[in-house]
Amino acid sequence: MGGHDEFLRVLADSFECQVVSRGDGVMVSGGEKEAQAAALALRELQGLYRQGTPVTMHEVRYAVRLAKAGEGKALHALFSGTVLVSAKGRQIRPKTVGQQRYIEAIRRHAVTFGVGPAGTGKTYLAVVMAVAALRAKHVSRIILTRPAVEAGERLGFLPGDMQEKVDPYLRPLYDALQDIFGVDTYQRLLAKGIIEIAPLAYMRGRTLDSAFVILDEAQNTTGRQMKMFLTRLGIASRMVVTGDLSQIDLPRGTVSGLTEAVAALEGVDGLAVVRFDESDIIRHEVVSRIVAAYERYVTAGRKAPERPGT
């Protein structure tokens, strides 16, 4: 495993036991309970490495967390479940229990909402599941859309034709598809119309049959836009709606369509709402601490100091 010595130090420090590399093996010694938990985490990490999945500090710390909580079965299920293999042969799998719950919800429901902070894999895993459905011939096309509202910008103020205007908003979706399919296959499917990427306004008036449809950045929809989108669902289709309610860029006083939808629709048969939190963030470990700090700040009711003259 890359960073072998550092990983062993983390295991030893986390479980208050000795973890020593001996040739091709690793010896764990200490109190029975701590040593068994450390050995469990180590065994699952080694299995992950042997199947060709890169092991990072995220996997190490997450394995430690589940092993210390006595969640051996959850840890094994998480590390042994491959959802898809990318064009470059990389095995794609859930990296947290929250991500695993999200994938299962998408498999079982016609409409799934993935709500939570940035870095939790909401969009990427939705695209992975769309590709898996397409490969299995459960759907005949993939449709991805986002509202073209972000950080106070509007399409009319951006240079270029319509495609050039929307490209910056849709770039995360392009990137995910190219990572999974490879650039050549992605371009071919796009040219054939099997993959469609368009702003949300283009969904109006359509019925989307035999499609896996993803609405990304849904916190920036209005209530009318969200209802319009959800009622496009056709026969033999799946929808996934992703968003982060802490990053709403709508004009002041406008209620997010995602906020309304989650409140109104949770519990509806055939629909699931999966909530992510900072424990599901898979970027640099400091990101989860940043998110948690902001949540504490907002919960305490504090306001950022205003700039002079405002």
pLDDT of the residue at 308: 47
Over residues 44-58, the mean pLDDT reads 75
Residue bearing the bigger pLDDT, 39 or 117:
117
310 pLDDT tier (thresholds 50, 70, 90): very low
Residue bearing the bigger pLDDT, 128 or 197:
128
Cα–Cα–Cα angle for 179, 180, 181, rounded to 5 degrees = 100
Over residues 278-300, the mean pLDDT reads 76
Residue 280 confidence (pLDDT) above 90: no
Q: Where do runs of H (alpha helix) occur along the chain?
A: 4-15, 32-50, 57-68, 72-80, 97-108, 122-135, 162-181, 183-192, 223-230, 257-265, 285-299
| 195-234: b (≥16 Cβ within 10 Å) or e | bbbbbbeebeeeebeebbbbbbbbbbbbbebbebbbebbe
pLDDT in tens, 76-122: 777 777 889 888 888 888 888 899 999 999 999 999 999 999 889 99
| Strand, coil or helix: 145 | strand
pLDDT of the residue at 182: 92
From the DSSP assignment, how many helices (H) and strands (E) are in the chain? 11, 10
Considering 36-45, 105-114, 250-259, the range whose residues carry the highest mean pLDDT is 105-114
Phi first, then psi, for residue 193 (nearest 5°) are 80, 5
Residue bearing the bigger pLDDT, 269 or 174:
269
Tokens of 9: 């130090």
Residue 195 confidence (pLDDT) above 90: yes
Residue bearing the bigger pLDDT, 291 or 195:
195
Q: In what helix (H) or strand (E) does residue 51 lie, and over which residues does it extend?
A: none
CA–CA separation, 165 and 168 (whole Å)? 7
Residue 152 confidence (pLDDT) above 50: no
Inter-residue contact 38 to 45 (CB < 8 Å): no
Residue 39 confidence (pLDDT) above 90: no
Amino acid sitting at position 236: A
CA–CA separation, 205 and 231 (whole Å)? 10
Over residues 185-198, the mean pLDDT reads 93
| Strand, coil or helix: 279 | helix
CA–CA separation, 167 and 158 (whole Å)? 11
pLDDT of the residue at 170: 77
pLDDT in tens, 209-250: 999 999 999 999 999 999 999 999 999 999 999 999 999 989
**How does strand 91-92 pair with strand 84-85?**
antiparallel
CA–CA separation, 156 and 187 (whole Å)? 28
pLDDT of the residue at 224: 94
Amino acid sitting at position 96: T
Residue 68 confidence (pLDDT) above 50: yes
β-sheet bridge partners, residue 27: 20
CA–CA separation, 262 and 218 (whole Å)? 11
Q: What percent of the chain shows pLDDT beyond 90?
A: 43
Residue 252 confidence (pLDDT) above 60: yes
